[in-house]
Structure 1
Amino acid sequence: MTVVLDGAHLTCEQVGRAARGSGIALGSTGRAEAAWRMSGLLNGPVYGRTTGVGANKDVEAEGTGLDLLRSHAGGAGPEIEEFRARATLVVRLNQLLAGGSGVDPALLPVLAAAVNRGLTPPIRTYGAIGTGDLTALATTALCLLGELPWTRPSEGVRTENPPPGSGTGAGDIEDTGNAGNAGKTVSWERAGSGPPGTQVGDPVPRFALASGDALPFISSGAATLADAALACHRLGVLLSATTAVAARSFQAIEASLEPLSPVVQRGPEQTEVAAGLRALVGSTSPRRVQDPYGYRAFPQVHGAVLDALGRAERTITEEMNAAPENPLIAGGRAWHNGNFHSARVALALDALRAALVQTATLSAARLSTLNDPAHTGLLPFLAERPGLSGVMILEYVAHSALAELRHLAAPVTLGGAVLSLGTEDHASFTPQAARSALAAAEPLEIVLACELVASLRALRQRGLPCDLPLDPAMEDRPLDADLDAARGLLPGLAS
């Protein structure tokens, strides 16, 4: 389904779809056009347009924008994955549509073309500290200028045809319907005349950025927000599936449903978790007055992580649909400000990653009860016969992944930096928080897969209904395939 960008309604889920190959279309460009027209009427010093940047803010330096792009494109480390780079383009496009940058709006359909053609800039991993993704967006700008090659989609990456009216077809296009063009030709050059690595006959989006467009284009944390949005979308799926996994463990050990009763719940998230789990479990015949915390405290702990996820999603959504520009072009003037700073996103992501550890710890605790005859009435480790190891190794795998999750939960907001001769004296390190949140999905998924494999085996051994297609064999054998299969089942368990 095509994702329509309008500068106001982009969601984390839409970023995820667009990153994986959904086509995009541009909504109204009116706010971007208004800011562009206004930028041409500005008088007096304007940061990055008539001056240098950083410690050079008071140095008159009009016409140096392209040098700024070339000097700021120096990231380091491996290139980020194509889906992350594509998400970066989507987020920046949406921010530009929100208005306030003053960038020539003729640029917008060219960026949309890159997304719809599956082309991405070669963004390096390291270079941002939470005050704007300067290296990532400067690299993107050099691709638009033709000074760096676009990265072409890997084999198997799906890219949709451009939607009608999106202005992203191949060939040279004279777009006179956009006020930003003012007769300018927006071209999709045929490769062969472009940079190294292009192929003859393929469309290569190009746009001749003006010097005054340089800083306005890169004054954004779009790459960081893209990672954060992708993380929230994937983690949301896994956290929804967590309740379904826990329900099978409840059934496997006949856990008491008393802790799920509406009368003991408080707060909307906890109440929602308890209600959802009650519905999935149905009924049990509990054999204990109280079960371990992995069962008894599930609504409290998992409700807290859903609350943290909700706060993070709301914060990220607001930032993706705002103009983070410095200066902000609005009300007939340029407003110099710090809206590019992403402290609130970093704080929300720190809280989310800490909460993930809590809910994953409970999953590992439930896995331990599934291995314990005192809770299942079965052989230790759900073995086929006495003395065998059964699923013993799953505890080691789960705690290995849990250790990684704890490492990724280390808060970034305790750090600091003073840069550019003391002019920039604070940093949120939000890019690191977003990367860690995105990386946290894998170990969380592995912990849940370990619990799911064990709970389904326990259900089968107890003769209870088992509705998921995992290998029913009970003999001691490698469990790699079981874990892979369980990980593949998790998205389908999300409600």
Structure 2
Amino acid sequence: MGQEVVVLDGDSLTIKSLLEITRKGKKVELSEEAIKKIKKSRKIIESKLDKDEIIYGVSTGFGKLSDAVISPSERGILQTKLIKSHSIGFGPFLPDEIVLGAMIIELNSFCRGASGIRIEIAELLQKLINEKVIPQVPSVGSLGASGDLSPLAYIARILIGEGKAKFNNEVLKGSEILKRIESTPIELQAKEGLSLINGTHVLTSFAAHSVYDSINVLENSVLAVGLTLEAFDGNTRAFSSFVSNLRPHKGQIKFAKAILDILEGSTLLKTEPKRIQDPYSIRCSPQVHGAVLDVICHCKRVVEIELNSTTDNPLINLETSEVISGGNFHGEPIGLAMDYLCIAMTDLGNISERRVNLLLDASISGLPSFLIKEPGLNSGLMMIQYLDAAIAAENKILASPASIDNISVSANQEDHVSMGFTASKKAYQLVRNIVQMVAIEFYTAYQALGFKEDKNKISNIVLEIFNFISKDIPLLTEDKFFDEEVNWVARKIENQLFTDIAKKKLGHIFGDNL
């Protein structure tokens, strides 16, 4: 077992380790203790079936049909029929990393030994993950209670040799993929179909990737503010520890300190400010960005609890051998957290757009209009704010909470659903929008810094970022196509190249424990 393996035990999966599998290609292994738990929980189920005990979804139908008792000879058939009947969705297929993440989260959930599956199910799921088999899962169909029934059914189809999935850049039938990885279709037994589709794994995968990317874009937003402050000749006194300590929210304190660290060496820290007070989008950035940081930290805690939870139903108690019906499949914890994240990230975009406006408005910034020589003949960066505003408008729609909605289903048996899948899916999209907005601020501030005659007066970190960009993007001297240049900046944000520059000098931006 080397560094390229993440061991799943049901208790220690983190957002970071999940993404090391989905984005960096690490493989998974099951811990010895997890294997023991899985086998023990299956023995409990089989023992109860031998005694003809009535167990929901094992010896009965599902949802409103739970009063229907299923004969022993039909219990395996019931589970296969469940996969077939619940494979209903539409829309573009989910991103590969989201589907793979859901499979990992599901396998980690099985490691807790509360689901009653055979070890063969876990082993095949592990193999599919390690072979990077990506089931094709439609993006619409889950209510986030009972978990992600529809999308998980599409994943489960591959285990029984049905459906389609991507494998080695080909889209193949499930049966063909199993042949290629030298496996055979699973014949589902009692409880197993239900365990495979009854969980919050897909919405949690969306949430985990969204939180990780939110942390990255927020760290980059600190650098963007640093560039804007230098270009705007901003007043840094508002970032003093004296101010933050009088209102000791952790996020505000961390953000203000990070700004001062990034501006180390700048004459802004040593000279009289150009203005007594800057506009709110600069002066209040610790209060706004810091509040966003606090929201992200909350969401991270919620998601990492969910990563190491069992959201199946019914659940097997390994200590007492009881089988208990509960509601862990309900996606409300993640749904609420993702709606919260959407609201916070939307306002992060709002304040960034306002700083872009400051830099483009000559009457406020003192810089050339729209950051171009000969404005009038040239439009410069006029349209970049239009793009910023369009993204901001879309974000406000995406920030509308999904978790406040409810539509009763299954003949009112499932009369309250979380819509957590929708909340998580839109968070994933919204965070990508914010990457583009922060890229716009980077690009605008970079062009504004080009008008500073003495670059030695700006901080070392800001200067290094400026020089890094200038190697690939020449400063604007006349109108040109620059959309691909903005996209270039966005890719560098996603790949953490700007934050790497800062972290080489500072060690971290907000602290090692984020």
Question: What TM-score, normalized to structure 1?
Answer: 0.88
Deviation at 1:209, TM superposition (A): 2.2
Cα 1:413–1:358 change in 2 (3 A) is same
The structure 1 residue matched to 2:257, chosen from 253, 275, 294, is 275
Cα 1:102–1:200 change in 2 (3 A) is closer
Structure 2 counterpart of 1:236, one-letter code: I
Task: State the alpha-carbon separation in 2 of the partners of residues 27 and 150 from structure 1.
Answer: 27
Structure 2 counterpart of 1:289, one-letter code: I
Indicate the SS of the match to 1:421. coil
> Any conservation in 2 of the 1:65–1:215 contact (CA below 8 Å)?
yes
Give the percent of matched residue pairs that are identical in Structure 1 and Structure 2.
26
Task: State the alpha-carbon separation in 2 of the partners of residues 416 and 485 from structure 1.
Answer: 41
> Any conservation in 1 of the 2:158–2:175 contact (CA below 8 Å)?
no
Cα 1:244–1:269 change in 2 (3 A) is same
Give the equivalent residue in structure 2 for 1:303.
290
The yes-or-no answer on 1:405 pairing with 2:395 is: yes
> Any conservation in 2 of the 1:350–1:433 contact (CA below 8 Å)?
yes
Indicate the SS of the match to 2:468. coil
The yes-or-no answer on 1:4 pairing with 2:4 is: no
Give the equivalent residue in structure 1 for 2:505.
none
Deviation at 1:481, TM superposition (A): 2.0
CA RMSD of aligned residues (A): 2.0
The yes-or-no answer on 1:100 pairing with 2:89 is: no
Task: State the alpha-carbon separation in 1 of the partners of residues 347 and 375 from structure 2.
Answer: 34
Deviation at 1:224, TM superposition (A): 0.9
The yes-or-no answer on 1:224 pairing with 2:211 is: no
Task: State the alpha-carbon separation in 1 of the partners of residues 21 and 199 from structure 2.
Answer: 19
The yes-or-no answer on 1:16 pairing with 2:19 is: yes
Give the equivalent residue in structure 1 for 2:223.
244
Structure 2 counterpart of 1:70, one-letter code: K
Deviation string 1:139-186 (CA, Å, 9 cap, x unpaired) is: 22221111224322438x9xxxxxxxxxxxxxxxxxxxxxxxxxxxxx
> Any conservation in 1 of the 2:359–2:367 contact (CA below 8 Å)?
no
Indicate the SS of the match to 1:239. helix
> Any conservation in 1 of the 2:79–2:188 contact (CA below 8 Å)?
no
The yes-or-no answer on 1:364 pairing with 2:353 is: yes
Deviation string 1:471-494 (CA, Å, 9 cap, x unpaired) is: 223221111122012112222223
Give the equivalent residue in structure 1 for 2:237.
258
Cα 1:345–1:197 change in 2 (3 A) is same
Structure 1 counterpart of 2:41, one-letter code: A
Cα 1:198–1:99 change in 2 (3 A) is closer
Number of equivalenced pairs = 459
Structure 1 counterpart of 2:61, one-letter code: G
Task: State the alpha-carbon separation in 2 of the partners of residues 308 and 281 from structure 1.
Answer: 25
Task: State the alpha-carbon separation in 2 of the partners of residues 9 and 454 from structure 1.
Answer: 42
* Structure in which a larger fraction of residues adopt helix: 2
Task: State the alpha-carbon separation in 2 of the partners of residues 205 and 242 from structure 1.
Answer: 49
Structure 2 counterpart of 1:288, one-letter code: R
Indicate the SS of the match to 1:304. helix
Deviation at 1:202, TM superposition (A): 5.1
> Any conservation in 1 of the 2:251–2:294 contact (CA below 8 Å)?
yes
Task: State the alpha-carbon separation in 1 of the partners of residues 13 and 415 from structure 2.
Answer: 31
Structure 2 counterpart of 1:381, one-letter code: F
Indicate the SS of the match to 1:295. helix
Deviation at 1:327, TM superposition (A): 0.8
> Any conservation in 1 of the 2:8–2:30 contact (CA below 8 Å)?
yes
Task: State the alpha-carbon separation in 2 of the partners of residues 448 and 238 from structure 1.
Answer: 7
The yes-or-no answer on 1:436 pairing with 2:440 is: no
> Any conservation in 2 of the 1:376–1:458 contact (CA below 8 Å)?
no
Deviation at 1:438, TM superposition (A): 0.5
Cα 1:205–1:290 change in 2 (3 A) is farther
Structure 2 counterpart of 1:61, one-letter code: I
Task: State the alpha-carbon separation in 2 of the partners of residues 489 and 139 from structure 1.
Answer: 34
Structure 2 counterpart of 1:38, one-letter code: I
Give the equivalent residue in structure 2 for 1:316.
303
Deviation at 1:9, TM superposition (A): 1.1
The yes-or-no answer on 1:56 pairing with 2:65 is: yes
Give the equivalent residue in structure 1 for 2:44.
38
* Higher mean C-alpha deviation, range 470-479 or range 300-309: 470-479
Task: State the alpha-carbon separation in 1 of the partners of residues 86 and 229 from structure 2.
Answer: 54
Task: State the alpha-carbon separation in 2 of the partners of residues 140 and 218 from structure 1.
Answer: 8
Deviation at 1:93, TM superposition (A): 0.6
Give the equivalent residue in structure 2 for 1:176.
none
Task: State the alpha-carbon separation in 1 of the partners of residues 351 and 113 from structure 2.
Answer: 45
Give the equivalent residue in structure 2 for 1:25.
29
Cα 1:315–1:203 change in 2 (3 A) is same
Deviation at 1:397, TM superposition (A): 1.0
Structure 2 counterpart of 1:299, one-letter code: P
Structure 1 counterpart of 2:199, one-letter code: S
> Any conservation in 2 of the 1:113–1:205 contact (CA below 8 Å)?
no
* Higher mean C-alpha deviation, range 46-55 or range 196-205: 196-205
Give the equivalent residue in structure 2 for 1:478.
481
Residue segments in structure 2 that go unaligned for 5+ positions in a row? 456-462, 500-508, 510-514
Give the equivalent residue in structure 1 for 2:503.
none
The structure 1 residue matched to 2:417, chosen from 424, 427, 434, is 427
Task: State the alpha-carbon separation in 2 of the partners of residues 291 and 204 from structure 1.
Answer: 65
> Any conservation in 1 of the 2:22–2:100 contact (CA below 8 Å)?
yes
> Any conservation in 2 of the 1:110–1:206 contact (CA below 8 Å)?
no
Give the equivalent residue in structure 2 for 1:118.
132
Indicate the SS of the match to 2:396. helix
Task: State the alpha-carbon separation in 1 of the partners of residues 184 and 283 from structure 2.
Answer: 56
Task: State the alpha-carbon separation in 2 of the partners of residues 199 and 5 from structure 1.
Answer: 23
Cα 1:52–1:202 change in 2 (3 A) is closer
Deviation string 1:238-288 (CA, Å, 9 cap, x unpaired) is: 111110111100111111111111111121111001100111122414200
Deviation at 1:405, TM superposition (A): 1.3
Task: State the alpha-carbon separation in 1 of the partners of residues 182 and 101 from structure 2.
Answer: 20
Deviation at 1:427, TM superposition (A): 0.8
Deviation string 1:119-142 (CA, Å, 9 cap, x unpaired) is: 122211122101111112222222
Give the equivalent residue in structure 1 for 2:458.
none
Deviation at 1:199, TM superposition (A): 9.9
Task: State the alpha-carbon separation in 2 of the partners of residues 103 and 195 from structure 1.
Answer: 21
Structure 2 counterpart of 1:247, one-letter code: G
> Any conservation in 2 of the 1:457–1:472 contact (CA below 8 Å)?
no
Deviation at 1:197, TM superposition (A): 6.0
Task: State the alpha-carbon separation in 1 of the partners of residues 422 and 351 from structure 2.
Answer: 26
Task: State the alpha-carbon separation in 1 of the partners of residues 111 and 215 from structure 2.
Answer: 27
Deviation at 1:33, TM superposition (A): 2.1
The yes-or-no answer on 1:138 pairing with 2:147 is: no
Give the equivalent residue in structure 2 for 1:333.
322
Cα 1:267–1:201 change in 2 (3 A) is closer
Structure 2 counterpart of 1:274, one-letter code: A
Structure 2 counterpart of 1:72, one-letter code: H
Indicate the SS of the match to 1:423. coil
Cα 1:92–1:198 change in 2 (3 A) is closer
Deviation at 1:115, TM superposition (A): 1.1
> Any conservation in 1 of the 2:223–2:262 contact (CA below 8 Å)?
yes
Structure 1 counterpart of 2:28, one-letter code: I
Structure 2 counterpart of 1:476, one-letter code: D
Deviation at 1:12, TM superposition (A): 1.6
Question: What TM-score, normalized to structure 2?
Answer: 0.85
Give the 5 Å matches for 1:444-459. 444-459=434-449
Indicate the SS of the match to 1:290. coil
Deviation at 1:196, TM superposition (A): 6.7
